[in-house]
């Protein structure tokens, strides 16, 4: 099994990578910070010494870098079984007062990155054999902020609404190809975004919770697709 994960050096992306490493999957991961990426690569290889881990620096806001990342991945793995569009950032604010350029930054990072890498990986995925009944899986890590108005969400919420729409349209397009598209909508999950916030770590979810749900979908029959997952902290959103 070969898995591609964007934004995999921390948070949810890293947790998903660690889960798949434990299950014996080869991994292709990217992030902007090569130092953090190399550290993550070493951690993944220490979890399972039999897997192959390809780590490539990539600024997902840059279309050329995203497409180049996909090309490098396909040069290492001729077959891609799973694509996890996880890369993203959170910039709080209100539409009426957030900094100029905030919307562009969030759309480029949270939406365009998923759009461009999916288009680059899909031709190879569509050629996968159907011996297991499924050609591939695409996970789009969205957010509860893409389901309803989100306090202080501003352009972040707009970008996640757009990503949810992208995911739904992609699911419809890929049904005939036996490629499952899953929208993952996490609520507050422990990551760098919450460091220094003063919020009790036990109040919000762990990134491993999201990873465990993603992995479980791989165990379902070919006939079943989980279209959307929504996970929230037990005590609700923050």
Annotated active-site residue 137? The verdict is no
Q: What is the 3-state secondary structure (H, E, C) of the chain?
A: CEEEEECCCCHHHHHHHHHHHHCCCEEEEEECCHHHHHHHHHHHHHHCCCCCEEEEECCCCCHHHHHHHHHHHHHHCCCCCEEEECCCCCCCCCCCCCCCCHHHHHHHHHHHHHHHHHHHHHHHHCCCCCCCCCCEEEEEECCHHHCCCCCCCHHHHHHHHHHHHHHHHHHHHHHHHCEEEEEEEECCECCHHHCCCCCCHHHCECHHHHHHHHHHHCCCCCCCCCCEEEECCCCCCC
**What is d(CA 130, CA 37) in angstroms, rounded to the nearest whole number?**
33
Catalytic-role residue among 137, 139, 150, 156: 156
Which residues are marked as active site?
156
């Amino acid at each position: 099994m070969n898995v591609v994960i964007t934004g995999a050096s921390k948070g949810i992306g890293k947790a998903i990578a660690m889960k798949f490493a434990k299950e014996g999957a080869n991994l292709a991961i990217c992030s902007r910070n090569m130092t953090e990426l190399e550290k993550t690569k070493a951690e993944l290889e220490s979890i399972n010494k039999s897997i192959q881990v390809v780590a490539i620096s990539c600024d997902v806001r840059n279309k050329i870098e995203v497409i180049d990342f996909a090309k490098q991945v396909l040069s290492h793995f001729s077959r891609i079984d799973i694509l996890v569009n996880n890369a993203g950032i959170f910039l709080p604010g209100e539409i009426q007062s957030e900094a100029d350029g905030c919307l562009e930054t969030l759309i480029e990072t949270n939406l365009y990155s998923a759009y461009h890498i999916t288009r680059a990986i899909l031709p190879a995925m569509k050629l996968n054999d159907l011996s297991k009944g499924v050609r591939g899986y695409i996970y789009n890590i969205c957010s509860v902020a893409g389901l309803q108005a989100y306090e202080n969400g501003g352009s972040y919420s707009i970008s996640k609404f757009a990503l949810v729409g992208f995911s739904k349209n992609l699911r419809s397009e890929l049904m005939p190809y036996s490629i499952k598209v899953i929208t993952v909508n996490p609520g507050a999950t422990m990551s760098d975004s919450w460091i220094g916030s003063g919020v009790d770590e036990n109040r919000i979810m762990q990134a491993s919770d999201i990873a465990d749900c993603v992995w479980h979908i791989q165990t379902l029959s070919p006939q079943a697709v989980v279209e959307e997952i929504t996970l929230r902290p037990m005590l609700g959103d923050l």
